[in-house]
Amino acid sequence: MTPETAATTEVPKLRVENIRKTFFRVERDRVTAVEALGGVSFTVRSGEFVSVIGPSGCGKSTLLRIIDGLVAADEGGVFVDGKKLTGPGHDRAVVFQYFGLYPWRTVQKNVEFGLELQGVPVAERRERARRNIALVGLSGFENHYPHELSGGMKQRVGFARALTMDPDIILMDEPFSAVDEQTRELLQEQLLDVWEKMGKTVVFITHSIDEAVFLADRVIVMGARPGRIVETVAVDLPRPRTSAHRASPRLLEIRTHAWETLRRGIIEAKAGLEGVG
Amino acid sequence: MSSEALEAARTRAIAQARNRRNSKTLAIFLTAVAFLLAWEIVGRLSHPMFMAPASGVVAEFWRGITDPRARLWNGFLQTMSVLVPGFLISCALGIVIGVLMGRINAVYRALDPFVTVFYNTPRVALVPILMLWLGIDNTLKTVVVILAAVFPIIVNTLTGVRDISSSLTEPARSMGANEAQILRLVIVPAALPFIIAGLKLGLGRALTTVVVAEYFSSISGLGGLLQSASTSYNMARVFVPAAILALMGILIDALLGWIERSASRRYR
Ligand SMILES: Nc1ncnc2c1ncn2[C@@H]1O[C@H](COP(=O)(O)OP(=O)(O)O)[C@@H](O)[C@H]1O
Ligand SMILES: [Mg+2]
């Protein structure tokens, strides 16, 4: 067997290829273009946990929407198991920054929603939702409405909803940015715990370097104007990770490196702006 | 806190809530009694041509429902036979058109001029047309009721639907919802408080319009009874259909209010 055929047999779970996206704002006779993504490419192995960090406005959410199929790219493609995507599908699920829960539905009904859309029989979807509500530690809250829950609990509902779709890939857009520090650390550890058990592929967007490094196998560092990848940083910390790893010297080393990369991206973007302007 | 102290605090909280409820009920009761008393006194002191006492209206009401010649029951049924279908059709049409206008830009652009004109036309301006048309039959009356009630329902539904942010539709789309599922499971429930506010407005307009229509055609319904009573200089007889209309309005409004509250409890 040649090395070439060996490489082609290992198809990545997710492949993002040269994605470009420009938004146009039309105000009367003036059109301004915002190049949100200027050619982004990366791959994610099956079962891998990848974080994406970058300054706000660098196109992270846009990238996630394009991977999910909510927004169409101008150029390039997204491939799952080598197949090009054309829109949302059951192989991917999103955990939204803004939770995205339906205020008129109970926790149970929110978690069941995706299965209801698919026409899964009532008994089955009830059972599957209940199992995932238990998995995120919200048993007993099935009949509560979102307004009765804290931010951290709402996001656990969002996560249970994504799990209930049983996707291969979970896309998370700054899921813990709206919760307090202590809760965030607990949620991170809970997320790793569930991920270890279920072996899903995760793309996790955050603007916190600590969070990115603590959670991921690799950290993709993005820069702005246009949104692009500056560098990919491997995180060679052992698994399973616990809160003890947060203060480990290796983590701090990687964190410092990621931070310098991020700064470089920001400085380059500023220089680019000045060069143009 | 000790468990007895906790128990005491709980008992106090329950007692406070009960007191608030009781004093509200008492206030309503006292106001009603004072109002009826004042009405009775003023009614007895006035000439029957201008004012009837509360007791006179009750007696007249009793005569109305026991004496078939009073045509009260008949009038009520006639009014309802226009109001109920007219309002129900307005609800269905108004919600469907409002949702379509809110979701589809082409529909919005096509219908918006008409909706704006009809929504803002004072209905008194239509009275001469009503007088021409309305004596004729119930179908025409129903059409006029729909014309009066449907526009506030459309406008409110439209506002509610346009108010829905993509943070509600995006998760559904991500989970693979088609447009029909998004309408039924996201748009309509999210816009429900607006829709119900529109239904309340529409109901008020429907009720007024039926009565005005009947009043001017003067041969049917509670409006017709109102008109014939007013020419007979019998104030007690004028008050009976007026009171029934007021009660109908209050009852339907309370029903819509109850639906609104049980829906909006989930929206906080
Ligand atoms: N729907 C849209 N219309 C116009 N501009 C948009 C839209 N979505 C995002 N943008 C712009 O694209 C850029 C990237 O946005 P976003 O992906 O939300 O960044 P991030 O998530 O990294 O903060 C921003 O400048 C933003 O204003
Ligand atoms: Mg974002």
Q: Which residues pair with A170 in a beta bridge?
A: A93, A202
> Can you give the pTM of this predicted structure?
0.82
Q: How many helices (H) and strands (E) does chain A have?
A: 8, 10
Instruction: Report the pLDDT value the prediction gives residue B220, as an integer from 0 to 100.
Output: 77
What are the tens digits of pLDDT across the range B70-79? Answer: 778 888 888 8
pLDDT of residue B99: 94
* Domain edges within chain B: 1-45, 54-267
Whether A220 has a pLDDT exceeding 90, the answer reads yes
Regions of chain B where pLDDT drops below 50: 268
Q: What is the pLDDT of residue B133?
A: 65
Strands A49-53, A201-205: pairing kind: parallel
Interface test with B, best of A98, A104, A115, A169 (most B CBs within 10 A): A104
Contact B263 A117 (CB under 8 A): no
Report which residue type is found at A142: E
Q: How many CB atoms lie within 10 A of CB B259?
A: 13
Residue B234 CB coordination number (10 Å) = 17
State whether B267 and A103 contact (CB < 8 Å). yes
Task: Determine contact, residues A226/A57, Cβ cutoff 8 Å.
Answer: no
pLDDT tens, position by position, B211-221: 887 877 766 78
Lowest mean pLDDT across A9-13, A229-233, B100-104: A9-13
How do residues A88-103 score in pLDDT, each as one tens digit? Answer: 999 999 999 999 999 9
What are the angstrom distances between the C-alpha of A259 and each of A246, A262, B4?
A: 16, 5, 56
The whole-number pLDDT of residue A2 equals 47
Residue whose CA lies nearest to ligand 1 atom number 14: A59
Q: Please say if the pLDDT value at position A116 is more than 90.
A: yes
Longest CA span, chain A = 62
Closest CA to A183 of A137, A151, A209, A149: A151
B170 neighbourhood in chain A, CB within 8 Å = 70, 96, 100
Query: What pLDDT score was predicted for residue A259?
Result: 93
- Collect all residues from B whose CB is shorter than 8 A from any CB in A: 167-168, 170-177, 181, 185-186, 189-190, 192, 263, 266-268
| Per-residue pLDDT at A48 | 96
Q: Is residue A74 part of a domain?
A: no
Q: Within a domain: residue A3?
A: no
pLDDT band at A277 (very low <50, low <70, confident <90, very high): very low
Nearest to B146 by CA among B95, B201, B91, B216: B91
First to last CA, chain B: 31
Q: Do B176 and A90 touch (CB under 8 A)?
A: yes
Q: What CATH number has the domain bearing residue A220?
A: 3.40.50.300
DSSP per-residue codes, A187-252: HHHHHHHHHHHH--EEEEE-S-HHHHHHH-SEEEEEETTTBEEEEEEE----SS--GGGGG-HHHH
- What are the tens digits of pLDDT across the range A45-67? 999 999 999 998 999 999 999 99
Q: Does residue A32 belong to any structural domain of this protein?
A: no
Q: Take residue B37 and report the two structure tokens written for it.
A: 């008393």
Beta-sheet pairing, A218-223 with A49-53: parallel
Q: What CA–CA distance (Å, rounded) separates A72 from A66?
A: 6
Asked whether the predicted pLDDT for residue A83 surpasses 80, the reply is: yes
Question: Which chain A residue has the Cα nearest residue B188?
Answer: A104
Distance from residue A216's CA to the centre of ligand 1 (Å):
24
pLDDT of residue A115: 96
Amino acid at residue number B209:
T
A117–B177 C-beta distance less than 8 A: yes
- How many independent structural domains does chain A possess? 1
C-alpha A172 to ligand 2 mean position (Å): 10
Of A233, A273, A227, the closest CA to residue A39 belongs to: A227
**Rounded CA separation B167/A159 (Å):** 16
CB B240 within 8 A of CB B52: no
Whether residue B175 and residue A114 make contact (CB cut-off 8 A), yes or no, is yes
Q: Determine whether the shortest distance from the Cβ of A177 to ligand 1 is under 6 A.
A: no
Q: Is A206 in the pocket of ligand 1 (CB under 6 A)?
A: no
- Identity of the amino acid at B133: W
Tally of CB atoms within 10 A around A35: 17
**CA distances to A55, A61, A212, A213 from A233, in Å:** 16, 20, 10, 9
Q: What is the pLDDT of residue A274?
A: 61
Asked if the structure places residue A34 within a domain, the reply is no
CA distance B266 to A227: 39
Phi and psi angles of residue B50, each rounded to the nearest 5 degrees, phi first:
-105, -30
Alpha carbon of residue B69 to chain centroid: 30
Q: Does domain B54-267 have CATH number 1.10.1580.10?
A: no
Phi, psi dihedral angles at A230 (to 5 degrees): -85, -45
Q: Taking a C-beta distance cutoff of 8 angstroms, is the pair A14, A181 a contact?
A: no
Minimal C-alpha gap between B181 and chain A (Å): 7
Domain range for A159: 47-69+87-276
Query: CA of B168 to nearest chain A CA: how many angstroms apart?
Result: 6
